[in-house]
Chains A and B, each alone.
Chain A
Amino acid sequence: MKPLTTVDGVVLPLDRSNVDTDAIIPKQYLKSVKRTGFGPNLFDDWRYLEPGEPGMDHSGRKPNPDFVLNDPRYLGAEILLARKNFGCGSSREHAVWALTDYGIRVVIAPSFADIFFSNSFKNGLLPIVLDEVVVDRLFEEVAATPGYRLKVDLAGQTVTTPSGEAFDFEVGEFHKHCLLNGLDDIGLTLQHADEIGAYEERRRAEAPWLFR
């Protein structure tokens, strides 16, 4: 996993609540057996005017000019600003892969759905929860300021606006450690293989029907 320490990037505002994982990456693209290549299909139903299927040349499809992602002003965005309950719905990690493949490294929202939130950390995507009032303000600032950027510092746990105003955010110690260092948590868990084995021995005695 690619480490994430600081991001200084253009902010893409997606002013809708309850953005679900079906909207982030529609089902037809889940047929892929790979982790990469989902970027061109991020928000596919909203982004293009005609329906898409896996395997087609998406660069030739007609973009929906009314969808914010197609506004040249937000080209190359690395920070997505969203509303509450972002990532609700299915557990598909493809939603996170589509965001990261497109180039998004941070999502800021007042709240996230649980599975999306934990999937993000496994893929170097940082979900940041900020107060609804702060998020409202950021939406206003983005709208008012072409080229609006935010600075995200994971070690210091701050989001800083162009005017220098900084907002603190919470992140679990373990998640932070893994993101900062780009660590694969399977390797970390396997360091405790003896403890897993000991648990199994204890459990086998208590609940032998689980070990047959």
Chain B
Amino acid sequence: MTGKTLYDKLWDAHVVRSEADGTALLYIDRHLVHEVTSPQAFEGLRLAGRKPWRTDTVLAVPDHNVPTTHRDQGISDPVSRIQVETLDANVHEFGITFFPMNDVRQGIVHVIGPEQGATLPGMTVVCGDSHTSTHGAFGALAFGIGTSEVEHVLATQCLLQKKMKNMLVSVDGKAGPGVTAKDIVLAVIGEIGTAGGTGYAIEFGGEAIRDLSMEGRMTVCNMAIEAGARAGMVAVDDTTIEYVKGRTYAPSGELWDKAVAAWRELHSDADARFDQVVRIDAASIAPQVSWGTSPEMVAPVTGRVPDPAEATDPVKASGMKRALEYMGLEPNTPIEQIYIDKVFIGSCTNSRIEDLRAAAAVVRGRRVAENVKLAMVVPGSGLVKRQAEEEGLDKVFLEAGFEWREPGCSMCLAMNADRLEPGERCASTSNRNFEGRQGQGGRTHLVSPAMAAVAAVSGHFADVRTVTPSGG
């Protein structure tokens, strides 16, 4: 008998029952909830007179609509305010654990789950948000769901699912200096495309992934969805267990020992079979910058904007042409000659303490370039913000001319007041460069936190590897 993949193990441990056509009822251990995709689900429960199955598995937080300035004045946009108030009313009505906007534990749902130890190895984790794949970094099966499924999980603690196929993305060897988790995952998406992982659960492995911190692994798994895969995951090792230990919702004492023993099994067996294997040499990856309107449209910072005339597939060529038009870019422009208007450091991809440290290391002792109208740092949670302030990172950013904001999703998707104006170009550490994502007509370039910091102080994209940290 062949061995099991990590995904096989997680799947098998959660199947309640299976139908003849392969549809399974899958048990859900953790359900994270935010204000945007939950109101219609709670309303559905009320209309059907149903109660949540297990409220102790649910953790709710507002993140998409919350302002990142002047929190004491509440939410000025009435439509956003109603959505956050609706979440507040729903969690109270149904008795769900909740971190309100002004609680220090509030933050982006995919930052606070791991931070609180609410995300644990071996769990199934869902949320009405596609970036739920983030939590797979812990050797968990984590994926985004729609609002009907949010209601289904609330009512039954289960989901109807078909098993996905197994893909291994192995990033072999060591990544070079200045090459981060973000660059690795952008390079992977550039390689396999935004639909390359459709129908698959991706396990990320190889030395370069093993070498990453938990923050880095979360960045990689976060963007599995940008490669089309609903779930991304990394096997459990010492790094995972060290991170989880001592967190609020993590087990302790005897239960901890028992849990760790079980978690040590959460890796693919040596003889496990994958439906597809992709191998990438880490040493070949340079810092990445996206140039188009899809996360697969990436280039190394040392490269140029590609020329649609050189694409062989006509559908692809017209997509590239359309993207360049939207982005206001000419083919063959060197990436380092693209000038920017704004910088956004934040989002569920890159707003954790390690991300802020990496950006601060570049910014320290420098100034935001004259042509940059706004450079902002939005920590992923109140606790990340507090930690950064204890380390003095806020001062580094403020002295350089950055704004230091309150936690939330902010300009990753511009549901709150933080957005690009039409035509504005942004170096962003977020995950999607779709048309209008950061504001109608806005132009997004996806980069790592260090690369965003270099762009902020240079006024244009530049290779982080040529910049030496200045000062302490």
Contacts and interface: CB of A to CB of B under 8 A. Distances in A.
Nearest to A86: B195
Given A22-B434, A88-B194, A114-B228, A17 B155 contact: no
Interface string B1-33: 000000000000000110111010101010000
Nearest to A203: B27
B149 A85 contact: no
A89 B27 contact: no
Interface stretch (A26-34, A63-71, A99-107): A26-34
A186 B49 CA distance: 12
A115 B152 contact: no
Contacts of A184: 48
Interface residues of A, number: 60
A88 B50 contact: no
Given A90-B130, A91-B146, A174-B23, A208 B258 contact: yes
B198 A111 contact: yes
Contacts of B16: 192, 195-196, 199
A117 to B, nearest CB: 9
A115 B79 contact: no
Contacts of A113: 195, 198, 228
B159 to A, nearest CB: 9
Given A91-B129, A192-B16, A174 B228 contact: no
30 contacts: A20-B294, A22-B436, A23-B435, A26-B436, A30-B64, A31-B77, A31-B79, A84-B195, A85-B198, A88-B194, A90-B413, A91-B37, A91-B130, A96-B146, A114-B230, A115-B225, A122-B148, A122-B149, A172-B162, A174-B21, A174-B23, A186-B152, A190-B155, A192-B16, A192-B25, A195-B25, A196-B16, A199-B16, A210-B29, A210-B120
Given A88-B195, A89-B432, A89-B434, 14 more contacts: A16-B322, A28-B415, A34-B40, A45-B436, A96-B146, A114-B228, A114-B230, A118-B146, A185-B152, A195-B25, A196-B25, A200-B157, A207-B262, A208-B258
Interface of B: 16-17, 19-21, 23, 25, 27, 29, 36-37, 39-40, 43, 48, 50, 53, 56, 64-65, 77, 79-80, 82-83, 86, 120, 122-123, 128-130, 132, 144-149, 151-152, 155-158, 160, 162, 164, 194-195, 198-199, 225, 228-230, 251, 255-256, 258-259, 262, 294, 315-316, 319, 322, 413-415, 432, 434-437, 440
